[in-house]
Amino acid sequence: MNKPKILVADDIKQNVKLLRVILTAFEYDVIEAYDGEEALEKAKTENPDLILLDVMMPKLTGYEVCHKLREDRKTKNIPIIMITALHETDDRIQGIEAGADDFISKPFNKAELLARVKSLLRMRHITPPRDEMPVLDSILSDLTEGVIVADKQWKIKNINPKAQELLNIHEADMKDKDLAAYLSNKNLSIPLDTVMGAGEKITDFQILPPGIQNASHVNVRMTKIFDEHANVISITLVLRKENNHTI
């Protein structure tokens, strides 16, 4: 029986070496890549059973690699675990949106890493293709922050119950609804045109209650994902309710 093949992609050679030692000790074959472009190429040519993908890499980030793999019919169903030092909810949402199946944070625990690898390899053989599974919906529903994922045209693709509560949205089916139209009816701390036209990856703003002193407002962090030509691929909003006096 062939050993499961795992692609390890990280620009830090010591990290790759450590992961190789751990994985080979448990009967996994390891393929190495040291930047995003090499990871993308080896994923296509080596057909690994699973990919351990560092977020911060040269040439292409882990997010960009993940997104490209999910767009390719040959690689779209390969399980991907992102290894990251990032702990912010919106960073993880960006990874999930790009197509990651799981995360593990640096410095990682060996037993946890092996358990996650084993679980995803097992699930690959018993679950339907990825695009038939509501992976993002199930994860978003458990978050305490409001999260909205929209396409480049501001059409809502995913919205969790907390975000609907914070925006006072009561419609059951929000798929493909115009997010900009909902924001246009809110009192924003910066003009909606500025929000929509922002060329930065991250833009912070607030949704303010109209004419109410000492009322709670909603802090919003908008993350735009761009392709290699600086075109917007998708948009994620993370919403957190805070009192005005805390700012």
Which domains are delineated in the chain?
5-133 (3.40.50.2300), 136-246 (3.30.450.20)
Q: How many helices (H) and strands (E) does the chain have?
A: 9, 11
- At residue 157, the pLDDT reads 87
Cβ pair 84, 54 in contact under 8 A: yes
- At residue 25, the pLDDT reads 93
Q: Where are the beta strands (DSSP E) in the chain?
A: 5-9, 29-33, 50-54, 80-84, 102-105, 146-151, 156-159, 187-188, 202-208, 216-226, 232-243
Write the CB contacts of 86 (distance below 8 Å, at least 6 apart in sequence). Answer: 55, 92, 105
End-to-end CA distance of the chain: 59
Cα 204 from Cα 218, distance rounded (Å): 11
Cβ pair 114, 26 in contact under 8 A: yes
For the entire predicted model, the pTM comes to 0.59
- At residue 21, the pLDDT reads 94
Cα 165 from Cα 163, distance rounded (Å): 5
- At residue 226, the pLDDT reads 83
- At residue 210, the pLDDT reads 74
Cα 220 from Cα 204, distance rounded (Å): 6
Task: Compute the CA torsion angle 237, 155, 80, 200 (nearest 10 deg).
Answer: -50
Is residue 213 packed enough to be buried (19+ CB in 10 Å), middle (13-18) or exposed (0-12)?
exposed
Whether the bond into 107 is cis, omega within 30 of 0: yes
Please tell me what DSSP assigns to residue 73.
Answer: T
Cα 8 from Cα 188, distance rounded (Å): 43
Pairing of strands 202-208, 146-151: unpaired
- At residue 22, the pLDDT reads 94
- At residue 133, the pLDDT reads 44
3-state secondary structure 122-145: HHHHHCCCHHHCCHHHHHHCCCCC
Residue 220, both tokens: 């919003």
pLDDT along the chain (247 residues), means of 10: 89 93 94 96 94 92 91 90 75 79 85 91 64 56 82 90 89 88 92 91 88 74 83 89 55
3-state DSSP call for residue 95? Answer: helix
